[in-house]
Every structure is written in structure tokens, then in C-alpha cells.
Amino acid sequence: MSQRWIVLAVVLLVGVPSTLYARWIKDKVSLETKEVGSVEFSHFNHLEAIGKNCPACHNAIYHIVTKNNPDFTMKEMEQGKACGACHNGSRAFSVKENCDTCHGNGDVAYETDAGKATFSHKIHTAAFSCDACHPATFKAKKGGNKKASMEQMEKGASCGACHDGSTAFSVKDDNFCGKCHEM
């Protein structure tokens, strides 16, 4: 084969299909939950991880017509449904851990008159499940909650639901302001 043909073959095998995909499929697809906000799924990252293999998911695991997909629970995923068909700890990282890799629940920074206050999901989810906070105390959506004042927290709103001096250190105690605020 001449070099030209080799180049063309490479373009056809690699270049053309991936640019076609890039043009007509959406990379990021959002899966909404009622309780814990939305989960972003990346087509491109998956096509890279498993090869350009649509039937690996469509339509056996996820129907391409999104309204045909039911809402799955984590329990069902742990039993091998939906994302759990691969995210089982052997083909890909497990749905039983790594919650933050899929759910995008990292640190949350609040700008306040008393300096930045930080909330860490990592620290809290070591002791609590998502439903200890979502959706009753906090909607799992950036900007989805009314600003709370310290006065409201002292009466049990927002962080004050637990930071009351019994479940966790109190929002009223002058010694602890600096645990949450960079003052």
C-alpha cells in the first residue's frame, strides 16, 4: 500500500468517525434526580474508555430515546442496572463508593460578611447519607437555597439544623466561628 492509502485508512478509521460523533451526539447528558440534583454523564469520556461502541449502552442499558428510561435508584445500580452494569468495581469504579465522582458534590464555598465559609461534602458524607440534608434542609443545587443569616441558623435553619451544640459544635459559640469561616 502506498503511504497515501495508509493515511486515508487511518483517517477513515479514526479521524472521520470521531468527528462525526462529535458533530451529532451531545457529549454531556444530564440525568436528573429529585433528591440529589443532576448527574452529568459524558459520552466522549465513555467512548474513549470503552471504544466507539454505542451498543454497549444503547438500547440494552439505556434507551437512546431518553423518555423511555425509568429513573433508576442506587440500589438498582448496585444490583447491576443502569450505570451499575459497568460501575461494579471490576469494569469501572463502583457505585457503592466514589459518590462524588458522579454526583459533583465537592466543597461548597459561601461568601459572607464574615469571610468565606466552607462546607465539605467529604467530611459530612463520612457520617451522614445524602438524605440527612437533601432535599429537606438544602436543595442540591447551587444557588437553589435562600441565604441564611447566623440568627436563622441559631434557630435551627441551614447549618444550624445540626450545628446546635449537641449534634455538632454550635453556630452560637464564639470559639467556633473560625471552624467554618476564614476570618
Which residues have C-beta within 8 Å of that of residue 14, sequence separation ≥ 6? none
Beta pairing, strands 38-42 & 28-32: antiparallel
Write the interaction track for ligand HEC spanning residues 131-150; mark x where CB under 6 A is met and - where it is not.
-xxx--xx-xxx-xx-xxxx
The C-alpha angle with vertex 172 and arms to 171 and 177, in degrees rounded to 5, equals: 60
Contact letters for ligand HEC, residues 96-135 (x by CB under 6 A): xxxx-xxxxx--x-x-xxx--x-x-x-xxx-xx-x-xxx-
CB closer to ligand HEC, 19 vs 42: 42
Binding mask 1-20 for ligand HEC (x = CB under 6 A): --------------------
In whole angstroms, the minimum distance from the beta carbon of 14 to ligand HEC comes to 14
Residue 128 half-sphere exposure toward CB, CA atoms < 13 A: 13
Site for ligand HEC in 40-69 (CB under 6 A): 41-43, 45-47, 49-50, 52-54, 56-58, 61-62, 64, 66, 69
Phi, psi for 119 (deg, rounded to 5): -110, 130
Size of the site for ligand HEC (CB under 6 A): 95
Neighbours of 178 (CB within 10 A): 11
